[in-house]
Structure 1
């Protein structure tokens, strides 16, 4: 049995979650965790609210409210949306004024200082005197210094780089549109350049999607810029060094995952030994699910921070996703071009939303959610086809789940075994390919129904493979058809069916 720490990048609690969040890291992390548990592995899935995000200050200013109040209100909405979508996070931590969080941040920060990976230098910082704000992230915007696209001064959504505001063109105050003053300030920096060889070794040992691997390799050549990790007059956590400012939220992500796990085991479950068994063991794999725009912090900064800490992980896996469009256009809450998770799962069966979003998962490239296509698919496949198959399978009721399999289909089972093993592996996981495999099996079963051939074993296999994606639906099908999921999975994991003689 293996151990996995599964993490989801924390959303900023300045609003609720839309379907882009679901199709991205949230659903994939949930499916991964369910799949590994289905295979007998030990997992803990954690995330937290990004309360120290610079955007919380701007939202508070826009609404004339305290950012903490807005964060608390939206965190409740976020948790409700996740619950409605069947996303089962083992622990969701509030980071604001959280002792576990602060301790973990300071631990990694001081470890970085001791390892000489964090140093100080004086650089110019952008300040808008008219608005009395510093333009580090939420209050400054211009053209990314790497790709030239419109971006804030922190993480570029287009190319995933960390823009350097000193080299951004047309860089102006987000509030008034005016130019910033430039003020000399001391800042802390993470030394990327001295760790290039360590990062290349980490990349060689870790499972990272091809587009993400290419990004990290590109960032490391020829000479990467070091990363500013503190800001003045902005959101962040006080580290007791006011001349440097506060560490910003992008630096604190890995500390957040450590703190959420510690709080889960030591506070909620009163089992501190389990925290050690996960985080201080070389046998544990750290698996992160994140948007492509979070790749710089997770693929470059965090491996450096972890390497010198007690939480260093030899086995790490990063699963990034690209963006989901809505009816051909980018999702935008400001333009009211979005569908909220809670609205979609209120109008349609939750498992249908989960399955469709898994099929659309923008793992390597952008995908598009078209409402009319989803409505048609929901009616024809999810409601009609699956119900027809379930009724037909109940009429077969074989003594063993492989009864009715034809001899010439032995090759099909071998292919299913190989594909399922690959898409559920921690090294090559894909919720999209897992969903596609299950749907293909259901469609094969429907073809056999049309040909008046036995289909029970295909329905049994599909319902078990799809259980991490459609847990309620799969349980219903298995109950109605007397399918023993434990037996099917045992046969699948151990390939026992390959020796089954008809």
Structure 2
């Protein structure tokens, strides 16, 4: 996807999408912070005023990327180049692959993001934070944290790296947050740094302006951080550094880093013009199912968040045999005779991801499923040991219809509109069967999806 909007319109667009996604997935929050809000601007400047009192913060010359044709300094997402550490494409904030803080003077082949004009380095003033005299304190806090051993190792290596002994707090950037007590009125806090401070703004908002520094120092306060892999540096090194300077004893109790979702080895994100918005799929799946489907990516490693079709097939083959699953639904009397339609469909979808699975199966697999299912269904109906009543047979038949509904909701909606609510009796089952037969030809002429065609065929074969 591409959106033809300026930077402010783009921010509004994604902010609205995020809100709608949270609402669609029934995820609540106490405060939704826009970093462009007045409250965030005021909170950031309150923090800067306190930070400037520290002997570890000094004004000093810095090198920044400069766009000569426009006579302006640029940073963050307005720059495209290659990381000098891992070689990946990145902007001028933090590398989205290895997560290091980008040094403008070392970025490889930096260009302006719009027209690829090469950028040059130009000296300007800035605020720098030195951690050399408090490095041991930073190390102790991180070593004593509850963070994962992998994150601890990465962060401690960053702190020990001499290149990070001085961290640039400000940039000259037209889209950054202005620093009020800067006499030149040029300095701003760039996005990668101040976005982390939205936690302070959120606390101020929730507590109606109560001192966020005091709240963070309270023993009862639990502070957990969630972020993508590209902002680990600021959510770890920079945040611990700022907390130490501000005399905040606590650092995040938990640090959760989510790797980028990749599709066939390529990053799947808005920065690559790819997006799937929750509000667009909630009409097909309920919020529980979507959250369940996303769960495997939460807290996973990079490999776990990299989707390939071959790997998906391998995992499905190792995890689930579709025939056994379907037969289990039929033989499990508690599920057949004691379930609500909605609950059963939700469990079927979330546990089996049926649409994706069936689209991967080959014709021989479909025939095997059909033959095995029919064989066992007939055995159930005619078994002398079963002693099934007509009502129980109808319920078994109905359970299969529920499976069909989960596979082809569009088709079953058409049937529902004709017969209304299902009834668990023979007449309803027969009417359902006849309607499927009558509508089969018309429906197949209207649909293009191979999966839906198979679902219709599957239902037909079961009830013939």
TM range (shorter): 0.5 to 0.7
CA drift at 1:115 = 1.8
In structure 2, the gaps of 5 or more residues are 340-349, 352-464
Matches within 5 A, 1:93-492: 93-99=33-39, 101-225=40-164, 226-240=166-180, 241-243=182-184, 245-266=187-208, 278-309=215-246, 311-313=248-250, 316-333=253-270, 336-366=273-303, 367-369=305-307, 391-392=334-335
RMSD of equivalent CA atoms: 3.8
Q: Distance in 2 between matches of 1:317 and 1:68?
A: 32
Q: TM-score, normalised by structure 2?
A: 0.62
- Where 2:46 maps in the other structure, the secondary structure is helix
CA distance in 1, matches of 2:268, 2:34: 26
Equivalents in 2 of 1:324, 1:258: separation in Å?
28
Aligned partner of 1:82 in structure 2 is: 22
Contact 2:63 2:104 in 1 (8 A): no
CA contact (8 A) 2:82 2:109 kept: yes
* Contact 1:208 1:318 survives alignment (8 Å): yes
Question: Based on CA coordinates, which of the two structures has the bigger radius of gyration?
Answer: 2
Q: Secondary structure at the match of 2:105?
A: helix
Give CA-to-partner distance per residue, 1:277-335, whole Å, 9 cap, x none: 84341232211111121110011011111124364416622111212123553214466
> How far is the alpha carbon of 1:203 from its aligned partner?
0.7
Per the normalisation by structure 1, the TM-score is: 0.58
Please list every run of 5 or more consecutive structure 1 residues that lacks an aligned counterpart in the other structure.
1-14, 17-58, 397-434, 437-502
Q: Distance in 1 between matches of 2:157 and 2:241?
A: 17
Deviation at 1:188, TM superposition (A): 0.9
1:236 & 1:344 partners in 2: Cα distance? 34
Deviations 1:448-467 (A, max 9, x none): xxxxxxxxxxxxxxxxxxxx
Q: Higher mean Cα deviation, 245-254 or 300-309?
A: 245-254
SS of 2:20's equivalent? helix
Retained in 2: the 8 A contact 1:205–1:314?
no
Is this contact kept in 2: 1:278–1:284, CA < 8 A? yes
Q: Aligned to 1:124, what secondary structure does the other structure show?
A: strand
| CA distance in 2 between partners of 1:222 and 1:79 (Å) | 39
Distance across 2 between alignment mates of 1:178 and 1:312: 45
Given that 2:225 and 2:252 are in contact with CA atoms closer than 8 Å, whether structure 1 keeps it comes out as no
Output the CA distance in 1 between the equivalents of 2:82 and 2:279: 34
Deviation at 1:208, TM superposition (A): 1.5
Gap change, CA 1:384 and 1:80, over 3 Å in 2: farther
CA contact (8 A) 2:170 2:189 kept: yes
SS at match of 1:184: strand
| Structure showing greater relative contact order (alpha-carbon pairs closer than 8 Å, 6 or more residues apart) | 1
The alignment covers a number of residue pairs equal to: 332
Q: 1:178 to 1:94 in 2, by over 3 A?
A: closer
Q: Secondary structure at the match of 1:185?
A: strand
CA distance in 1, matches of 2:276, 2:229: 21
Q: Provide the rounded CA distance (Å) in 2 between the counterparts of 1:146 and 1:333.
A: 24
Which secondary structure state, in structure 1, belongs to the residue aligned with residue 134 of structure 2?
helix
Bigger shift: residues 198-207 or 357-366: 357-366
The structural deviation recorded for 1:177 is 2.0
Deviations 1:101-138 (A, max 9, x none): 23321232222221223211112322112244423222
User: Do 1:121 and 1:187's aligned partners in 2 also have CA atoms closer than 8 Å?
Assistant: yes
Provide, for residues 376-403 of structure 1, a one-character-per-residue CA deviation record: whole Å limited to 9, x for no partner: 999969999799979449869xxxxxxx
Q: Quote the Cα distance in structure 2 between the aligned partners of 1:321 and 1:384.
A: 37
Q: Work out whether residues 35 and 195 of structure 2, in 8 Å CA contact, stay in contact via their aligned partners in 1.
A: no
